[in-house]
Amino acid sequence: MIARLTDVNRVYELAGQARIHRYRIAYQPLRDYARSLRRLMRAVGDQYDSLAWREFVRRARGYYHRCLALPLPFHHEALGGRATLAALQEAFESPEIRYSTPADMALEVIQHLEDLVARRDNPLLEKILEIAEREQGDIALVTSETKMQDSIAEELRRYQQTSEIRVVSPERLRDPTAFDVLCVLGTASWYELREQDYIFTAPRAREIHLLRYTFQRDSWEEDRSFTRLSRGSREKPQLLPDEPQEEYVEIEPELPSRSVVEIARRSGTDERYEQEVPAFAVYLEGERATLLEDDDNARVFIIDPREEGDERVQRIPSTSVEPGTFLLLRIDSKERDYILPVANELLGSDAEVLRQAQRRWKEKLRERIKVYGHTWVAERIKESGCEISTPTNVRNWASERFIRHNDKQHFVSVMRYLGFGPEADELWEMMTRIRHAHQEAGHKLRKMLLQHVASMDLSALLDKGYMEFNLPEYQDFRMGAFRVIEVDRRSEEVPEAQIGRLIDLE
């Protein structure tokens, strides 16, 4: 998917030709819901800091912000209105809410939600149909709710004038691919908050239609956001007049946590003591995240749609992951290792015996670390004859991904310290078999991924920002490719089992 020169030239031309049309769309039922929710949030404030109230407000606010970004009929299952209604009704029955002063306000929110989820229309959809009726050329719809792209595309296909519209994520517009028309859902300031206002400052279409409701405030300003956009040109996109406004309803979105520890907690693991490793957070398309080990020796698979042939699937250091690349994760269960099952298959009937031997010495090493710490253990191992023993190396040896040392004498010294001296030679041979199986598994998995990627619609992957799939040879686990949106390099210690898990931030 290497950028064509014609695409790049077209982007430069659009920098001076683009026009931004702003629409503020009235819809009283959603406005009533928003106003009742805002009143409730102000009344609750910090005075009712119970789990029931927090969950009530979180669910109600989440539904509201989905409505702002989705052109789906309000009764549509993908909007989650009925699930939200059921959750709010259940929460209302808790004593903390039902017998509190703001209970009447909570009930009003529920009543407005009941009205909304019964409605089969959507004014955003109606405006998109109107725009598609009069515009010509390639049209794309941009929404921050990237998880809902399939549902949006399915709804648009129901109408002749919108059946060919592509639904794309904001990140898709970082690429030089250009369209004739963009329909952007939500406020420009929301995209600016997420550092995605390049949609407007480096336009990818000659006509950009920005759709938001009349009660949404948009603080984004043309004069501080637009810059000189193309070489040799000082033209700026033409920002056409806004429509009349009414009273704003301010309900700030709940941004995902940016704490590595909080993300680790969301992984849902309940592990007994195990090795902790330094990790950093990677934020993915669709309000998802994962934790990667902060170590140059840790490896992850990525897909690069812009490369050709064998370079499309790469195995790189986790510390080399950056925004825009597509990270491969296992997503079918709490298991997150995609090499392990392939390696075990290669080991055949000996896999369990070999893994038990591996667990035995690693658990002993982790127990020593838990009791005495990395520094003390490193000193004792060095005394046993391993001159490369340091606290950092000891941490590495205790990790799941480490199998054995390159130098047999170093491995024997560690085994001697752990009390496995008489078995050291046999353990060395067993760990060597495991290591070879992992190396072969990595090559085999990459080959399978290359074959699968060759048949994938990579333009759809770029549009959506993520794709889930099964490998034909391993139907028992699913994998996903997810566009990296942000990498937070701040490192914190987390249990090793939480590395590489796909975590939903919503």
Neighbours of 275 (CB within 10 A): 21
**Distance between CA atoms of residues 183 and 181, nearest Å:** 7
Buried b (16+ CB within 10 A) or exposed e, 147-182: bbbebbbebbeeeebbeebbbbbbbbbbbbbbbebb
**Distance between CA atoms of residues 290 and 12, nearest Å:** 36
H/E segment holding residue 11: helix 5-17
Neighbours of 340 (CB within 10 A): 18
The Cα diameter of the chain in Å comes to 84
The two structure tokens encoding residue 33: 């819901």
pLDDT at 231: 32
Q: What is the pLDDT along the chain (506 residues), one digit of tens a residue?
A: 445 545 666 666 766 678 899 999 999 999 999 999 999 999 988 666 778 898 899 899 999 999 999 999 999 999 999 999 999 999 999 999 999 999 999 999 999 999 999 999 999 999 999 999 999 899 999 998 888 999 999 999 999 999 999 999 998 888 878 899 999 999 998 888 888 888 988 888 999 999 999 999 887 754 434 333 333 333 445 545 555 555 677 777 665 555 666 666 665 554 544 567 889 999 998 888 999 999 888 889 898 887 777 788 888 999 999 988 899 888 765 556 778 888 999 999 999 999 999 999 999 999 999 999 999 999 999 999 999 999 989 988 998 888 999 999 999 999 999 999 999 999 999 999 999 999 998 888 888 888 888 777 788 888 888 888 877 777 666 788 999 988 988 888 888 878 888 888 76
Q: Tell me, rounded to whole angstroms, the distance of Cα 295 from its chain centroid.
A: 21
pLDDT at 217: 87
Cα dihedral sign, 259-506-152-450: positive
| 307 DSSP assignment | S
Burial class (CB in 10 A: 0-12, 13-18, 19+), 377: buried
pLDDT at 39: 93
Residue 268: closest CA among 506, 498, 110: 498
**Distance between CA atoms of residues 369 and 286, nearest Å:** 38
pLDDT at 332: 63
CB 147 within 8 A of CB 72: no
CATH topology assigned to domain 5-26+122-239: Rossmann fold (3.40.50)
Q: What is the pLDDT of residues 164-217, one digit of tens each?
A: 999 999 988 888 788 999 999 999 988 888 888 889 888 889 999 999 999 998
pLDDT at 144: 85
State the pTM of this model.
0.72
Residue 70: closest CA among 185, 234, 200: 185
The two structure tokens encoding residue 134: 């009069």
Burial class (CB in 10 A: 0-12, 13-18, 19+), 323: middle
pLDDT at 499: 86
The two structure tokens encoding residue 363: 């658990």
Please list the alpha-helical segments (H only) found in 419-454. Answer: 424-454
| 402 DSSP assignment | -
